[in-house]
Amino acid sequence: MLATGALAAVPAQAATAPSIVAKGGYVMNNSTAKTLYTKAADTKRSTGSTTKIMTAKVVLAQSNLNLDKKVTIQKAYSDYVVANNASQAHLIVGDKVTVRQLLYGLMLPSGCDAAYALADTYGSGSTRAARVKSFIGKMNKAATDLGLRNTKFDSFDGIGNGNNYSTPRDLTKIASSAMKNSTFRTIVKTKKYTAKTITKTGSTRTMAAWTNTNGLLSSYSGTIGVKTGSGPEAKYCLVFAATRNGKTVIGTVLASTSIAQRETDAKKLLNYGFATAG
């Protein structure tokens, strides 16, 4: 009996830290902020569309935010995604789309058109360029306010100009902060969302359903978010969170080698996180 009791006390310490393909990784206990795993956790890397976590966080932090406010889709947003061959929510120029819908379009299909619309709406200035610059300034201020020293944004969507970077630790902290917002939590755990927008003529358009790019929502029990990212420089990134037995583990992998591999890496880190979360 004694031997069994001794063994029973060991499992938390006995879990072996996994090997992941991603160049950077970080995991923490979301409620205690205790670090559970690190791999190059403070090395700055391109973040791809995981940048959009901060885009959403900044929008949701606006005072007197009206999620039902309607935003008219401009040709500039459409031209931008075409010019950059960027992921998009396929928003239609002239349609009126609510801020809530734009947030779904931002986080599920990773729409850079939705990101542009939100930056243009919630930045301040008399020109679109000024508003976008102002919005990116808010993103950087939010990072500073969280005490993050290894994060810099020069874009609203991750299509950076050479100065858009973060680290696995910093991105995890941004996501953990964003997850305190109930609207954010609802959006990032949604697998599919169909937006009904208002056309130029006032009729209702039912958009093609947006599917969440986060495969963990379907393949890892307890997953509650958060956001994928990819790009030529960023490779394959994933900020992830899951809850099991009342514990929430949150983390990030940066610069993995494929969509499947980033998910495999994340699952390994989640399993390890739950085994060591205490």
Q: Which residues are catalytic?
A: 49, 52, 110
CA distance 66 to 103: 12
Give me the count of residues in the chain. Answer: 278
CA–CA–CA angle 124, 129, 133 (5° rounding): 60
* String of DSSP letters for 67-85: TT-EEEPPHHHHHHHHHTT
Phi and psi dihedrals of 174, rounded to 5? -65, -45
DSSP 48: G
Amino acid at 47: T
Contact 205, 196 (CB under 8 A): yes
Long-range (24+ apart) CB contacts under 8 A made by 70-75 are 70/96, 70/97, 70/98, 70/198, 71/96, 71/97, 71/98, 71/99, 71/102, 71/117, 71/118, 71/121, 72/96, 73/97, 73/113, 73/117, 74/117, 74/120, 74/128
Phi and psi dihedrals of 221, rounded to 5? -60, 130
Long-range (24+ apart) CB contacts under 8 A made by 243-246 are 244/274, 245/274
Cis, bond preceding 59 (omega within 30 deg of 0): no
C-alpha distances (whole Å) from 200 to each of 68, 121, 194, 197 are: 18, 19, 19, 10
